[in-house]
Amino acid sequence: MKAIQDSDGKITVFNSTPKNWGAVICGFNTFSNEKLQTYGFYDVVRPTIKESQELGAIEWDADNSVFTYPVQNKTYSQTVAELKTQKIDNLKYIYNRELGKTDWIIIRAQEGTAAPQSILDSRAALRTECASKEAEINGLSTRAQIADYQLPSFR
């Protein structure tokens, strides 16, 4: 990704280098980085951010000769308690969905067919893990920590 800043200060971002630019009618996109820089085209660096952050408006970073986005902390309208409740609800949904994959075995066991011990152990481990992660979430004290807490992903 490349960008250029015009004389008015407006930055234009290009997903790919244009084929034509100014007096160059064809082949502009084949120029080396050094030659593109003579026309004012520089790389765009997109910083990695956490869930509690967002990118600001693109700007020129003269120290590194790149265009980049400043990283800003998000603001939240919810309280810490509300964010914890939301995160825990999502956590429980994920674990309930995972437990749901073997619910039919448990229902069948209630009708007389014994459930395999491995299934019972696996379900107990899931409930223990969920309770542990819920305690971790409850131990967080800032909105950013709660937003950045990564929930598990079962595939």
One digit per residue, pLDDT tens: the chain, 155 residues?
999 999 899 999 999 999 999 888 888 999 999 999 999 999 999 999 999 999 999 999 999 999 999 999 999 999 999 999 999 999 999 999 999 999 999 999 999 889 999 999 999 999 999 999 999 999 999 999 999 999 999 88
Q: Which two tokens stand for residue 64?
A: 């590194």
Q: Are strands 42-45 and 66-68 parallel, antiparallel or unpaired?
A: parallel
Residues 6+ apart with CB under 8 A from 54: 71, 72, 74
